[in-house]
Amino acid sequence: MGAKIGVGDRAPDFSLPTQSGQVLDMRDLQGKKEVVLYFYPKDNTPGCTAEAGAFRDRFGAFKDIGAEVIGISSDSVGSHRDFASKCDLPFTILSDEGGRVRKLFGVPSSFGLIPGRVTYVIDRKGIVRHVFNSQTNPTRHVEEAMRALEEIRGERGNDDPAERAEA
Amino acid letter, residue 43: D
Distance (Å, whole) CA 137 – CA 26? 27
Give 74-100 as a 3 state SS string: CCCHHHHHHHHHHCCCCCEEEECCCCH
Catalytic residue, chosen from 48, 93, 101, 152, is 48
Question: Which DSSP symbol is given to 1?
Answer: -
Contacts of 89 (CB under 8 A, 6+ apart): 52, 55, 56, 71, 83
Q: Is 87 a catalytic residue?
A: no
Cα 163 → chain centroid = 22
Residues with catalytic function: 48
